[in-house]
Amino acid sequence: MIRQPLFRLAASATARPILPTALRTTPTASLRPSLLPNTAAISRPAAFTPLQTTTNAAGALDLVPQTSISCHPAFLAAQVRCGPRNTMNRNSRLKRKRKHGFLSRIRTKNGRKTLLRRLEKGRCRLSN
């Protein structure tokens, strides 16, 4: 057995061209499980149809057509960041930060006094 230097082996391995037959796809790609029954539905955009006018109040408030992207089954588990929020909840982090946060303490004279008091007392957290 003839020993070749390691860099020659590496060079000969990388010098071989990749044949196009190595990049074949298999017919099992279409058999993989997916959330959608037909993947061709994603590639074809549905035609936009305007909403029909209805007389009941629930139908009149529906402003998003059923063919829009937010109604697509692939986006059902996605976060809706611009949608309605539960504003009548008890406490929220947004309210707590707005009232008792570090930036709101810095902005006012009494807030700065509060931060100094907590700093002198040795608190780990000066504010929320």
Tens-digit pLDDT string for the chain (128 aa): 556 665 565 565 556 555 555 555 555 555 666 666 555 555 555 565 655 555 555 555 556 565 555 566 666 666 667 767 666 667 788 888 999 999 999 999 999 999 999 999 999 999 98
Specify the DSSP class assigned to residue 55: S
Tally of structural domains, the chain: 1
pTM: 0.31
In a domain, 4, yes or no: no
**Distance between CA 39 and CA 17 in Å, rounded?**
33
Helices (H) and strands (E) in the chain, counts: 6, 0
In a domain, 127, yes or no: yes
Q: What range defines the domain where residue 113 resides?
A: 94-128
In a domain, 123, yes or no: yes
